[in-house]
């Protein structure tokens, strides 16, 4: 009786609590089983161990996958942020023929099913006789990351006072110098946000990587291949734990940096250009 009364009075709170539990419970299971001694993923827990982490460190195939993923992630982040910066600037600052159509085309991969992009790219590369390598994965990842970069950076460009650029030109600076000395420092928080987001997207992207990767597997593809062996499951959990900690660190770092630079410019840290608002 008391429970029903509590639920009817605090239904919103109950809903929120259940929602959060549903969202994060699986994530909490990850580190829980990563330190569990048994190879079987089931309760009750059998004892504390770090041996699954040791297994990870001794696996050369994993090291290669991590290396591939890092290279792909970094190159994808840099390339898509450069392309995104150019596109966002053109979008915000200039008017040109077929602007809406061109912008829609750039943003399209955001809503296109990844499996379709992946298959289409694979067919295309096969037809062209292009060998699959980490570079084909990078190509695919840049395609899906650019829209995110454009979205983040166009909000950074929108916050930029047009008069600042004019003031710089008026003071004798060239167009490129203006970008280097005024525009870039002011959109830097957005650039860093874009780098982090696109890196993270590339790092955990599976479908495109699976189709285009050839023999150089990425980390998600490696994890997927390991899931076929039940004995390897705990070490996958350990790997998941490490990735979880790293992602959180990365996000916190990015947000800290953004807030710091927003504060330096006397802006409200809660506004504009960030992805954790």
Partner 1 sequence: MTQNPIIDIKNVHKSFGKVEALKGVNLRIEEGEFFSLLGPSGCGKTTLLRMIAGFEEPTSGAVIIGGEPMMGIPANKRPTNMVFQSYAIFPHLSVSDNVGYGLAKKKMSRSEIAEEVNNALAMVDLVGYGDRSAHELSGGQRQRVALARALVMKPRVVLLDEPLSALDKKLREQMQIELRELQQSVGITFILVTHDQEEALIMSDRIAVLFEGEIAQVATPQTLYQQPVNERVASFIGVMNFLQAQATESADGGLGLEIPALGDVAIAKAARPEDLPAASIDRIGVRPEMLTILFDESDHAECESEGVVVGASYYGDMTYYSVQLPETEELTTVSMRNTAGRSIVASGTKVRIGWGADSIVLFS
226-265: which residues touch partner 1 (CB under 8 A)?
264-265
DSSP annotation of 230 reads G
**Least distance between partner 1 and beta carbon 174 (Å):** 6
Q: Is 267 in the site for partner 1 (CB under 8 A)?
A: yes
How far is it, in rounded angstroms, from Cα 39 to Cα 235?
9
Q: Which is nearer to partner 1, 131 or 266 (CB)?
A: 266
Look-up of token digits 């979880």: 244
172-211: which residues touch partner 1 (CB under 8 A)?
172-174, 177, 181-182, 185-186
Q: Which is nearer to partner 1, 167 or 249 (CB)?
A: 167
**Least distance between partner 1 and beta carbon 176 (Å):** 11
Ramachandran angles phi, psi of 139, nearest 5°: -55, -50
Helix (H, G, I), strand (E, B) or coil at 80: helix
135-164: which residues touch partner 1 (CB under 8 A)?
161, 163-164
Task: Using CA atoms of 110, 111, 115, 117 in order, give the dihedral in degrees to the nearest 10.
Answer: -60
Q: Is 26 in the site for partner 1 (CB under 8 A)?
A: no
Look up residue 107 and give its two tokens: 């943003």
Q: How many residues does the chain have?
A: 277
Q: How many residues bind partner 1 (CB under 8 A)?
A: 21
How far is it, in rounded angstroms, from Cα 35 to Cα 242?
12
Residues lying near partner 1 in the complex (CB under 8 A): 161, 163-164, 166-174, 177, 181-182, 185-186, 264-267
């Amino acid at each position: 009786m008391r429970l029903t009364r509590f639920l009817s009075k605090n239904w919103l709170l109950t809903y929120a609590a259940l929602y959060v539990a549903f969202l994060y419970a699986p994530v909490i299971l990850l580190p829980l089983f990563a330190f569990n001694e048994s190879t079987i993923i089931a309760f009750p827990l059998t004892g504390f161990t770090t041996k699954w982490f040791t297994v990870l460190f001794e696996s050369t195939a994993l090291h290669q996958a991590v290396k591939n993923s890092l290279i792909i992630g970094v190159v994808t982040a840099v390339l898509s942020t450069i392309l995104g910066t150019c596109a966002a600037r053109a979008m915000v600052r200039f008017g040109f023929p077929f602007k809406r159509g061109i912008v829609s085309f750039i943003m399209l991969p955001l809503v296109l099913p990844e499996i379709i992009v992946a298959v289409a790219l694979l067919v295309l590369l096969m037809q062209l006789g292009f060998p699959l390598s980490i570079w084909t994965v990078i190509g695919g990842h840049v395609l899906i990351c650019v829209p995110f970069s454009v979205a983040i950076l166009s909000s950074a460009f929108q916050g930029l006072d047009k008069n600042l650029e004019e003031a710089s030109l008026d003071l004798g600076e060239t167009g490129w110098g203006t970008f280097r000395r005024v525009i870039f420092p002011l959109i830097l928080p957005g650039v860093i946000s874009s780098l982090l987001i696109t890196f993270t997207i590339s790092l955990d992207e599976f479908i495109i990587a699976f189709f285009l990767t050839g023999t150089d597997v990425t980390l998600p593809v490696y994890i997927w291949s390991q899931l076929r062996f039940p004995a390897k499951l705990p070490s996958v959990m350990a790997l998941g734990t490490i990735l979880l900690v790293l992602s959180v660190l990365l996000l916190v770092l990015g947000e800290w940096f953004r807030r710091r630079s927003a504060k330096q410019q006397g802006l409200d840290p809660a506004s504009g250009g960030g992805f954790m608002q």
